[in-house]
Each structure stands twice: as structure tokens, then as C-alpha cells.
Amino acid sequence: MTNRPGYRGAVQTPGGLFDGVFSRGQVDTSGQAWLQAMLDTEAALARALEAAGLAAPGAGAAVTTAAHADAFDLAALGQQAARTGNPVPTLARELGRRLPPEAAAAVHKGATSQDIIDTAAMLLARRALAAIGADLAGAAAAAASLAAAHRDTLMIGRTLLQQAVPVTFGLVAAGWLTGLDEARGRLAQVAGSRLAVQFGGAAGTLAALGEAGPGVATRLAAELGLAVPTLPWHTDRLRIIEAGAACAGASGVLGKIARDVTLLAQSEVAEVHERGGDGRGGSSAMPNKQNPVAAIAVLGCTKQVPGLLATLASAAEQEHQRAAGAWHAEWLPLGDLLQRTGSAASWAVDMLSGLAPDPARMRANLDAAGGFPLAEHVAGLLAPALGRPAAHDLVAKASAWAVAAGQPLRDGLLAGPDAGRLAAAGITPDQVEQALDPAGYLGAAGAFVDAALAAHARTEQNDRP
């Protein structure tokens, strides 16, 4: 928990060339952040040992005071990690050297390297999931505003990238909203119940601490605000996979929204656009362009996440009590997965809060479809008089005639080869016109938008302290 003595916010390192795209937002899984999380774990362990009577009085405070990441040489620790396969042995020695002997004796007592790194991973995941959740909430708020403002804004629906029946932009935004809220919920579930301390010693028995081991583990978990597992989980990697999978789910939601935005922002469609200004969205070659930068950046992040999750899942096959290599394979993919999801979520807030729908363009594109997206509605009008198969065939024939003649569906129905059959069936031109009105064929779109907004309001209410 952030108010505990051992916690210090992760220290940001100088940005890399691509960090503006891939490391946006508040998630930090840099080497410095990992180091501080490891030091927080070592400090919390010293405090737990002292509380259990297994370390000298004052040892916990002394270790906590010394456990500042910026006081250690990150590069040197990384180089020394090559000797032992991970940086913890060198880190524990360096931390002990900075302490008086009675406090140094509490450093790493009873622990193994995996205990420190796994617990650090849980701390990083908790901070990352909180940051991602906050940005998903911001994106959801923006999506809710769009859904409410455009509840009845007509646009063409598209299935399999082809024009389908009419929808509303409010329904599109409501779909985004529901996905964001559900992703937030899953992140919160994982953060609240699946992030647990790791403390098992050399082979998961805590033999070095004897009967006091479980009590120390419980105190360590309390110090860090993590759950207490039933037993150490050195080779049970479900917690890692669940954290990654929750992020992958959120990433999938974000990627879907961003893909919609890129498609709707195409020049030939132009139904939405991202905010511009200050050269945003510009091209190095084409001065006229305004690219949907935020949507593109979201996709650049989310496209990387499935492969990272696959690596975590592959690494879950771990032998005996401690793995040879599979555990090591998790460190970078886990950090990258958290970082990419966090960056995508941060970009999504920017994307949705600055998104400008164009209702006039939506209506123009809908009208340009010539009424053909309403063919299903017309067939439904004819079905009681002609029967469903005959009605379908008549509308299909009228559509083909209209397409060949370069005319809208209305003309194919009222002036095409089967126009007489409509009159004989008692179908009037006014009824045809009414059936071709897209506003009359929206089904439960408005009700679905209202339901999504109501569910979002409940989510927001439940999130309030």
C-alpha cells in the first residue's frame, strides 16, 4: 500500500526514443521501478522479521531507510546479475553493506531470490493495474459522454466491412463504454484478490525460519498490502498469467475502439476525427494530412500485447519446486505487457476525450447508400402479404434491378419489374417510403444506449469511496 513505510514511488528514468508512444501514462516498469519494488520487499521483510522477534530491534527501520533505489548503481547490479542469473544476490549484499551488522542480519533472511522478484512483480502489477484502471475510467467517461450526446445520431452500420442496417453513433460509443467498464472490473478483481506475496525460501518450505515461517509470511504480506497465499507459488504461475490476461483483455477492448476510430476517420468515410493543432497528426511528406495519432498509438501498443501474454503462458510450465529458465523468461514480458497496456489506456483517454463525430457526414454516408441497407426492413413489410421467402426474393430482384440501373432501392421497388406485385399486395408508395426511413429501423438501439449508460452510472457509484 502506498502509505506504508517501505513504499516510495517509482523513480522515472530518462525517456527512450519511442517512449512517447509506448510508455505514455503512469505505468512504470523500468529497471529503476523493479529495483525499488525489490528494495521495498527487502525492507518489508526486515520489518516482518523484527515484528516476529527474528531480527534485532530497529532493524526494520534501518533497512527501510537504506532501501532507496536511487542510492544503488542499477547498471552495476545488472552486470552482476550475469553471475547468479538474477540481480537479487548482489542487491542483498549491497544493501547489507550499507547497514550495521545487527540490521544487516535481517536482510534477505529466510528468503530466496525468487521471493524478492516475484513479490516485486506483484507490487509493480498492483501499481500498474491501478494506473491502467484510472485511465480506463477516464476513457469510459469520455465514451459515456459520446453515447449520451449521440444517442439518436444516425449512421450506417457496417458488418464484415460492408454496409449493413442503420445504427446510431450513440450505440457505437455505448459498445465502447461497456467494454471499457468490463475491462476495468476485471482489472480490479485481479488487483483485489490475485496479487499475493511470495515467500517460500529455497524450495517453498521456509525451512530456514522453522515454525515461524508462516507467521513471517503473513506479516510480510500485511506490510506490503498483498494477499497471503495458501502456500508459496514458485512454480504455480497462474497469478502472473491472470494479471497479464486482465491487461490483455483491456488491451483488446482498447484496440477495438482504436480500430473503429481509424476506420471512421478515413478520408472517404470522415465520420469522426481526432483533435488537431500544434502539428499533431502531421505527415513528414504530406502537409495536408491529419492522421488519427492517438488511435494509431493505441494500436501500436495493443498489437504487442498478445505475443507478450503468450510468452507468459508458455513460461508457466515450470519444473519441480523452482524453474530453470521459465521463471526468468517472465520478467521482461510482464513488464512490457503492463507498460504497453498502460500506454494504450492513457492514449485512449486522449483519443476519446478529443474525438469529434460528424453527424452530417454520417447522415450523408447513410443517404448515399441509396436505401439498400433498409432492404431487410422492406422485406419484413412485404412478408405478411407475400410470405417471407417470396418477399425476400422480390426485394433481392428489385435491388439487383436498381443497382444495374444506377437507381436507389426506392425506384427498384416502385418502378422495377415487380412494382405491380407490391400494389397487388396492398403495399402503398407511402409504406415503402416509411420502410426506407432509417430512423424507423433502429430496433432497441436507444434502449441499449440507455442500458449502457445506466450500467456505467452504477459502476461509477460503486467505485466511489
- Write out the catalytic residue numbers: 283, 322
Is the separation of the CB atoms in 234 and 204 below 8 Å?
yes
Whole-angstrom Cα distance, residue 86 to residue 322? 14
Whole-angstrom Cα distance, residue 256 to residue 395? 34
Closest-CA residue to 119 (of 44, 173, 9, 38): 38
Alpha helices in 73-157 (DSSP H): 74-84, 88-97, 101-104, 113-149
Alpha helices in 194-237 (DSSP H): 213-224
Q: Terminal CA-to-CA distance of the chain, rounded, Å?
A: 16
Closest-CA residue to 329 (of 307, 344, 351, 345): 307
C-alpha cell at 332: 521482461
Whole-angstrom Cα distance, residue 38 to residue 220? 13
Distance from chain centroid for Cα 438: 34
C-alpha cell at 183: 475491462
C-alpha cell at 180: 471499457
